[in-house]
């Protein structure tokens, strides 16, 4: 019998939502940037597909990014698939039929002291420079290579100065990135796609102020962080807004069918009925998210595996992972 899932989030080997390469992490069904077969990872839901189509309409050619910087901000409630959407858009840019070189800088792992976005910006600028040095455009051009190395030295100097203000950092970083002059590359555009860490709206606005031509920043904003309909971004950049939404009832069942397809071999009794999922999602009155659905199913399968049982998944099983569990924190919608 398998041991129960520990608090670290590790999934049992038999859990159909487990990704083998990252078994020591919490459920990763929604982290496609960690999956090799990226294109096959997505489950088409209406909200997700609509947002992705909107992005493709805005950015259909990488030459569009060459002369103007872009900021794409994705907002929505927690667990509605913002990170998955950003990853899909980033991979879409890499797969466009073009001679352009696309450099994706995933800096979401960068951490810094709370309340110091300027420190995180220095780390982000440093990460961008190191990625540029590895790109073909700079690796084969000694003059441009030296240019980036000089910027790296300047950033290291700034990191040692603890008296810097956000305005100073913003000005310095903007100047440094502008001096690299990505848009002057003659062998086709080099597009830098940046996925920065953002913990609040102030961080996002900070990033927006340093966006340069040939740079496209993605960022996430929680709905509760938005006091107004649109964040106060300034400058000459192009701002693209994408909004993720909660799952529709039909999408919840489609998600389960596609995500679990082929992953329950030898566990034929682990059957989930469409009507049961629809009843659960209806009880949430349109507020069920992909994250909630995945987490509930992950724990349900862990419970079945842990008790070494073999039976059909019943509505009461699902209810215990969704409505009842949720009611321990707040009352379920149908009880109000």
Task: Give the model's pLDDT for residue 332.
Answer: 42
Please identify, among 244, 259, 281, the residue that sits at the C-terminal boundary of a domain.
244
Tokens of 298: 């992950």
Q: Verify that 193 and 315 share a domain, yes or no.
A: no
In this predicted structure, what is the pLDDT of residue 171?
A: 87
The reply to whether 124 falls in a domain is no
Residues of 310-335 as b/e, b for ≥16 C-beta within 10 angstroms?
eeebeeebbbebbbeebeeeeebeee
pLDDT at 336: 36
- The DSSP 8-state label assigned to residue 293 in this structure reads H
**Closest alpha carbon to 213 in 240, 192, 187:** 192
Hey, CA dihedral for 213, 218, 224, 229, is it positive or negative?
positive
Domain boundary among 244, 265, 292: 244
- Give dist(CA 227, CA 201) in Å, integer: 10
Determine the average pLDDT of the residues in 235-258.
Answer: 84
pLDDT digits (tens, 9 = 90+) for 169-197: 888 888 888 888 887 766 666 888 888 77
Please, which pLDDT band fits residue 150 given cuts at 50, 70 and 90?
A: very high
The number of beta carbons lying within 10 Å of the beta carbon of residue 13 is 10
Whether residue 110 sits in one domain with residue 256: no
Q: Are residues 309 and 272 in the same domain?
A: yes
The pLDDT confidence band at residue 328, using thresholds 50, 70 and 90, is very low
Same domain, 109 and 51: yes
The rounded distance, in Å, linking the Cα atoms of 107 and 204 is: 14
Based on the fold, state whether residues 323 and 190 are members of the same structural domain: no
Q: Residue 31, class by beta-carbon neighbours within 10 Å (0-12 exposed, 13-18 middle, 19+ buried)?
A: middle
What CATH number does the domain containing 45 carry?
3.40.50.300
Mean pLDDT score of the chain:
76
The CA-based angle 311-314-317, given to 5 degrees, is 100
pLDDT average, residue stretch 260-265: 64
Q: Which helix (H) or strand (E) holds 77?
A: none
Q: What angle do the packed helices 142-159 and 166-180 form, to 10 degrees?
A: 170
Mean pLDDT in residue range 201-211: 80
Whole-Å CA distances, 200 to 171, 212, 215, 263? 20, 21, 21, 37
- Give residue 2's pLDDT band: very low, low, confident or very high (50, 70, 90): very low
- Most confident range, picked from 47-56, 230-239, 252-261, 306-315: 47-56
Closest CA relative to residue 45, chosen from 249, 230, 203:
249
Q: Which spans in 181-231 are helix H?
A: 201-208
Measured CA to CA, the distance from residue 72 to residue 86 in angstroms comes to: 9
CB atoms within 10 A of CB 139: 12
> Is residue 10 a part of any domain in this protein?
no
Tens digit of each residue's pLDDT (9 = 90 or more) over 91-128: 888 888 777 788 888 877 655 554 566 777 888 888 88
Least confident of 20-29, 83-92, 170-179: 20-29
Residue 266 has pLDDT above 70, yes or no: no
Domain count within the chain: 2
Residue percentage of the chain with pLDDT more than 90: 4
> CB–CB of 108/197 below 8 Å?
yes
324 Rama class: left (phi>0) / alpha (psi -120 to 50) / beta: alpha
- The reply to whether 8 falls in a domain is no
Q: Is residue 22 part of a domain?
A: no
pLDDT for the residue 182: 81
What strand order describes the sheet that includes 215-222?
Answer: 101-107, 190-196, 215-222, 70-76, 238-243
pLDDT of residue 253: 86
- 85 and 112 fall within a common domain: yes
Q: What average pLDDT does range 39-44 have in this prediction?
A: 68
**Does residue 159 lie in a domain region?**
no
Residues 89 and 231 in one domain: yes
Say if residue 254 is in the same domain as residue 225: no
- Residue 304 maps to a domain: yes
pLDDT class of 267 with cuts at 50, 70, 90:
low
Give the rounded percent of residues in the chain with a pLDDT score beyond 70.
Answer: 74
CA pair distance 130, 142, nearest whole angstrom:
15
Looking at the fold, whether 189 and 318 belong to one and the same domain comes out as no
- Hey, CA dihedral for 287, 47, 103, 62, is it positive or negative? negative
311 lies in the same domain as 296: yes
Residue 28 clears pLDDT 70, i.e. is over it: no
Instruction: Give the whole-angstrom CA distance, residue 82 versus residue 147.
Output: 35
Domain that holds residue 271: 249-328
Q: How far apart are CA 236 and CA 245, in angstroms?
A: 29
Residue 149 lies in a domain: no
Do 76 and 222 fall within a single domain? yes
Within a domain: residue 293?
Answer: yes
Res. 314: pLDDT tops 80: yes
Last residue of one domain, picked from the residues 224, 244, 264: 244
pLDDT tens digits along 45-68: 787 889 999 999 988 888 778 778
pTM: 0.80
**280-309: per-residue pLDDT in tens?**
888 888 788 888 888 888 888 888 887 766
Closest to 17 (Cα-Cα) out of 209, 231, 304: 304
Domain identity same for 216 and 75: yes
């Amino acid at each position: 019998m398998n041991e129960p899932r520990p608090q670290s989030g590790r999934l049992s080997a038999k859990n159909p939502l487990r990704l083998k390469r990252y078994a020591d992490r919490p459920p990763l069904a929604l982290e496609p940037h960690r999956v090799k077969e990226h294109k096959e990872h997505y489950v088409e839901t209406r909200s997700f597909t609509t947002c992705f189509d909107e992005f493709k309409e805005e950015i259909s050619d990488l030459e569009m990014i060459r002369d103007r910087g872009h900021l794409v901000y994705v907002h929505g409630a927690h667990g509605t698939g913002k990170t998955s959407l950003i990853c899909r858009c980033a991979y879409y840019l890499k797969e466009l039929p073009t001679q352009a070189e696309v450099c994706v800088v995933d800096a979401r792992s960068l951490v810094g002291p709370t309340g110091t976005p300027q420190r995180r910006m220095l780390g982000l600028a440093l990460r961008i420079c190191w990625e540029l040095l590895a790109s073909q455009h700079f690796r084969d051009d000694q003059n441009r290579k030296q240019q980036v190395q000089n910027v790296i030295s300047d950033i290291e100097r700034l990191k040692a100065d603890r008296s810097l203000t956000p305005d100073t950092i913003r000005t310095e970083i903007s100047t440094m990135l502008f001096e690299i002059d990505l848009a002057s590359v003659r062998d086709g555009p080099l597009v830098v796609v940046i996925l920065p860490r953002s913990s609040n709206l102030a961080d996002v606005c900070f990033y927006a102020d340093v966006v340069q031509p040939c740079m496209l920043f993605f960022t996430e904003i929680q709905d509760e962080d938005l006091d107004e309909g649109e964040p106060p971004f300034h400058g000459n950049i192009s701002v693209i807004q994408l909004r993720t939404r909660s799952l529709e009832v039909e999408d919840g069942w489609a998600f389960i069918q596609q995500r679990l397809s082929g992953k329950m071999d030898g566990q034929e009794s682990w059957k989930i009925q469409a009507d049961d999922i629809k009843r659960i999602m209806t009880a949430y009155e349109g507020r069920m998210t992909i994250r909630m659905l995945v987490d509930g199913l992950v724990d349900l399968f862990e419970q079945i595996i842990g008790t070494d049982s073999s039976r059909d998944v019943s509505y009461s099983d699902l209810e215990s992972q969704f409505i009842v569990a949720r009611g321990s924190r707040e009352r379920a919608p149908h009880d109000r």
